[in-house]
Amino acid sequence: MKWTKRDECRNIEDVIKRNVGEISDDCPETEIVHLREAVDRINRAILSDEQITIFGDYDADGITGAAILWATIRIISGTDPVIRLPRRFSEGYGFSMQAADEVNDGILITVDNGISAFEQVSSVKDRGVSVIVIDHHLPGEKLPDADIIIDPHCFKSNRDDFEDWCGSGLAYRVCKELLKTVKDDVMRARTMAYIQQLAAVGTVCDVIPLLRDNRKLVIDGLKSINTMPCKGLRAILNSTGTTYVDETTCGYLIGPVLNAAGRMEDDGAMLSFDVLTNCNRVGAGDLDGTVMSLISLNDRRKTEVSIAMETARQEISETVPKGAYPIVIRNDSIAEGIVGIIAGKIAEEYRVPTFVFTSVGGGLLKGSARSYGGVHIKQMMDAAADCIERYGGHAGAAGLTVHEDKLLEMYVKMHRFMGKYTVKDSDTIEYDLEIDAADIPAAYAAISKYAPFGEGNPNIVFKINKFVMTPRNGECFRRMGACKEHIKLFGNKFSAVGFGLAAKFDPAIGKTVTCVGTLSENRFRGNTEIQIEMLDFKLSNDSKETELTRKLKEKLIELNMYNDERKVV
């Protein structure tokens, strides 16, 4: 793996300006087209005791968005709306006809889906149901026949309006307006804090640009979580021993826990919904028991992902030629619920857009796609639309169903689409700045004011020299993960973690590390330290071996008294 400096940026401020321009936390709130009409229609439904049905999604964004709407309407109306999330295996993604057939009166609100549900929305409308679609996915050539559509990709009051919302962010804006009718100041403030926390989690987990409105929402939401988390989030944090939440915690701990149930069980997303709404739904279990079910399902998911990644890497090495972009693999041993995770991991590891498919019977393949390097996944699928049974998504991620006979034709058209992009060498890692390990505290302090980092505001990648491993409890390193595929290196007052990099770590080489990676703060069980998340590393031995030491080591090896970790046994 080669490392190269990205450009001539000399300091952190230059890198931030290059990545996002000027960052401001004081930008005015963006107007959202049709938001006022949606709020008025929901208020009328509440006043007239109409049945309100909320249909969300089985991922963290769809679950948090549905919870925001359900809890807010429940507090205002005093009655429980009907809640429905898609069943991953028996129904698939989005607003299915099975779900549509269950809605016979009142008002239907879809969140994080619906912009492509043409037949389903028409079916519901034919029965006299009013439909509000709240979605952030990119539309096709036509729109569903809903009464009100909130989707900033479809409607903007002017060209400069912010459009990169997620479903939970849009639900938050709707409910923020609904809560203005609540006269109890304490209840209104508590509910505002609650929906802000869930919207922050959904925004980070859906990998939406953390700029402008989203940046302020996430900053305020994380601050609220760390001050007084809602009961559902507190239960998740307590069960994992987590005492502080930042964007990394959302993306790598809370999000996976919320997503796991919907990946592993058909109607599992309802477990996550129940936790976020404090198990107040009729028929929900107790909070602590439901949280433990989520943790257990997430542990199972981790094991399956580790195994699936090994088979995926082997298949790529055996069947995917170098330069075959995007990467498209079919592996029927990969569970349908985790194809999205595998696609994301492969895209990051091989640094190229990736599609992963698994068979669901009847000659059909279900798949997930993840982008890399700015390639627009939705436009790529548009270029091969005649080969795809069903698809939906946005620039960075998508889901699709393809008949196995069309897979090759689809790939050819997508490969042709990739011709408009310059694909960077997958054997090269670019870094922004170079520092010594001694400079890590100052560097972290300097970048912290630009957090949260994520999509749209990428964390700065450092090349870090002279990281010397330091023993902790007798260990300089620790292998982690279900298959011991991760490595953690201990330093003086900070550590370095390499996900999926354990195989290249050899303690025999030495204890001095040069690495490339990003900086974050790791808080666990009351302990806080700066952590390097390594993209790659190299080991070197700075110690000078004397002739006597060399001869002694040779003798020990000859006597079989020197093991692989170079310790006397």
Over residues 492-535, the pLDDT tens digits come to 889 999 998 999 998 888 889 999 999 998 887 677 899 999 99
Average pLDDT of the segment spanning 402-412: 95
Apex 24 CA angle, 23 and 27, nearest 5: 140
Q: Using CA of residue 481, residue 484, residue 485, residue 487, what is the dihedral sign?
A: positive
Which pLDDT score, from 0 to 100, does residue 547 have? 58
Mean pLDDT, all residues of the chain: 91
Query: Mean pLDDT highest for which of 414-423, 438-447, 553-562?
Result: 438-447
How many CB atoms lie under 10 A from the CB of residue 465?
15
Top CATH class of 2-9+428-558 equals mainly beta
Q: What is the pLDDT of residues 368-385, one digit of tens each?
A: 999 988 889 999 999 999
pLDDT band, residue 64 (cuts 50/70/90)? very high
Which pLDDT score, from 0 to 100, does residue 418 have? 87
Other C-beta atoms closer than 10 Å to the C-beta of 221 total 26
Q: Dihedral of CA 402/408/410/411: which sign?
A: positive
Stretch 219-227: mean pLDDT: 97
- Per-residue model confidence (pLDDT) at position 455: 87
- Position 379 scores a pLDDT of 92
Residue 323 is predicted with a pLDDT of: 74
Please tell me the predicted confidence (pLDDT) of residue 157. Answer: 74
Q: Give yes or no for residue 105 having a pLDDT over 70.
A: yes
Which residue is associated with the tokens 């990003």? 518
The CATH number given to 320-420 is: 3.10.310.30
Tokens 């580790």 belong to residue: 306
**How is the chain split into domains, by residue range?**
2-9+428-558, 31-299, 320-420
Residue with tokens 């393809």: 402
Do residues 308 and 275 touch, judged by C-beta distance below 8 A? no
Question: If pLDDT is split at 50, 70 and 90, which confidence band does 563 have?
Answer: low
User: Among candidates 59, 40, 51, 22, which has minimal Cα distance to 136?
Assistant: 59
CB 397, CB 370: distance < 8 Å: yes
DSSP state of 127: T
DSSP secondary structure string for all residues of 43-61: HHHHHTT--EEEE--SSHH
Q: What is the pLDDT of residue 565?
A: 47
Give whole-number Cα distances, 79 to 130, 231, 282, 340, in Å. Answer: 19, 20, 11, 36
In tens, the pLDDT along 132-146 reads: 999 999 888 899 999
**Phi/psi at 547 (5° precision):** -60, -40
d(CA 326, CA 334): 19
Rounded CA-CA distance 214/217 in Å is 5
Q: Tell me the C-alpha distance between 361 and 477, whole Å.
A: 45
Residue 114: pLDDT over 80: yes
Distance CA 263, CA 338 (A): 6
Burial profile 126-139: b = 16 or more Cβ within 10 angstroms, e = fewer: eeebbbbbbbbbbb
Quick one: pLDDT at residue 567?
43
Mention the CATH class of domain 31-299. alpha beta
Half-sphere exposure of 414 (CA within 13 A, CB side): 28
Residue 369 bridge partners (DSSP): 355, 398
Q: Is the pLDDT of residue 562 over 70?
A: no
Please check whether residue 388 is in contact with residue 328, taking contact to mean a CB–CB distance below 8 angstroms: no
Sign of CA pseudo-dihedral 327, 353, 260, 317: positive
Q: What residues contact residue 113 under an 8 Å CB cut-off, 6+ apart?
A: 55, 56, 57, 62, 86, 93, 94, 95, 135, 137, 167, 392
Quote the distance between the C-alpha of residue 368 and its chain's center: 14
SS in 3 state form for 273-315? HHHHCCCCCCCCCCHHHHHHHHHHHHHHHHHHHHHHHHHHHHH
Token pair, residue 255, equals 């999000």
* Residue range 287-346, pLDDT digits in tens: 999 999 999 999 999 999 989 999 999 989 888 887 778 999 999 999 999 999 999 999
**Which pTM was predicted?**
0.86
What are residue 484's phi and psi, to 5 degrees?
Answer: 55, 40
- Give the number of other Cβ atoms within 10 Å of residue 510's Cβ: 16
d(CA 421, CA 539): 35
Distance CA 478, CA 515 (A): 17
Three-state SS for 20-45 is: HCCCCCCCCCCCCCCHHHHHHHHHHH
Structure tokens, 294: 């989520």
Confidence (pLDDT) at 566: 43
Dihedral angle, C-alpha 98, 102, 104, 108, nearest 10 °: -90
| Mean pLDDT value of segment 188-211 | 96
